[in-house]
Structure 1
């Protein structure tokens, strides 16, 4: 089941709405409708105008969240980091980066970009609201003054909140960058930043319980869980950098002939129980390509006896050296959106490394 939908692209990055985002829209609109000025439209008599302005404020607010995440992404892309998507969900937005740079200066620059964008937007909105709130006007004029002031104030709060050293928020990442630069250990810095983040989460939840702030409790829960996941991912990533491809690859190679029909190949897969194979010429021993279950799915069943493996195999060979790290292999597989890579040493096919091999290694590392 798909949990998010793509609504557009910016800087070539897919912008997605998570299903939980739809849950937060009505409450935000209702809050803006019921709040008195300068943060809401409760004093506007017309229900239609009040509802329209509240909806517009909510939409622009989440546009500001996208701008916040795009600023992270823009700086990250400048350092060669690939961004898979930006997703809006119940607690805000998140830019999905393939890797987090371990250079503390780079991570700090990426992290600070978001709050700086929010401060910039806050400045713009607060400047824009001045004429609306100083020059007399009609109902819409007054409404746009409230809208501008509200968005300015919220963006300022968003910037300051994100700068709290509660990992994995922006301030927490800046804290980790500082600790890495000071101590030199990425894992140690992550653990300390995570502990600070968890303390902030506990304090935030306690404050929410005392004052009835259910949203604050949910955010605290999210920060606590996200910090724990980030710590685990960092430890695994570092461990994988110490594992060679040759240690986890499949060495007992099973290859297939390009002359097999698709039907014969399907029968072979059913017996062997793998989803992808190197294709090797039986005469010369030359590596020709890779064929997988995905390639088979594109062939109509009535043509299974006519079309051969050689017709559907991928000739683009994604390879890796056996002395490369498991972390490098994982990035290679993710970058090319493939299920396996061929392991080549001195021009000779030495093995194959699949997502399954990597997942098994990760499970072992997690214990």
Structure 2
């Protein structure tokens, strides 16, 4: 009996059968007699044989694996996107390899080189903040040029020859701001953001500003941006204490949560809140209406797109699917 993880060659020698016969028996080929297949399969089971999936993928020309790169696993949004992707891929017989860039272009590039070395049939990615801000996409364009199907989600870019899944950031932002103005009677709403350098952050800011203009509310000093939570906290505190803001729109999860935390500490009960949030911490305020990005649905659509791209021979038309954000 073989005591280490066996190979086809070792099983072949142990049973005095050709490697081809062993392989076909393990694949339940009708070319091999039932008795031989039973003999080989039973021996393989006792030896704890497991097929080399990478070697098999080289023979087949496909892996049935998809790579995913996300900026963070701590953000509930990305966790929900991952659930949507994994569920759809599993239903279609694919496995998912997940990597985390931690907003680093270098890490992102490293993972793309690895995934592009024959380990996956396609890649789904939300580009890192560093890549988006510097607008340097050479590492992604290299993967695309090599023929690997690629789907972007959430963060908008000017990349071509790839599909993408987004939401209408401008429209969602405009609607949330109008909620503060019309339903909450806010006269001095402000927007808080940690994503002002990213394209979707800019779209959300545009939606906020245009909603203020529509209702003849001054826009000067109405947007608070920061690079860190600490910086944002001090600015929000100043806006609430000195500028008497009466409504806060959070352009992203962390910004909204921080605003609510500061507001609770200052006991500013008259402040109205809204914004993007995928976190259960919104339970702090049962009256809070938020923008739900439908992250799981976004993940499912990204998975659908990459599988469609793998199967298609049309490499001239690429698609952007827009997921409807819910105001709940």
Query: What TM-score results when the alignment is normalised by the length of structure 2?
Result: 0.30
Higher helix share: 1
Higher relative contact order (CA 8 A, sep 6+): 2
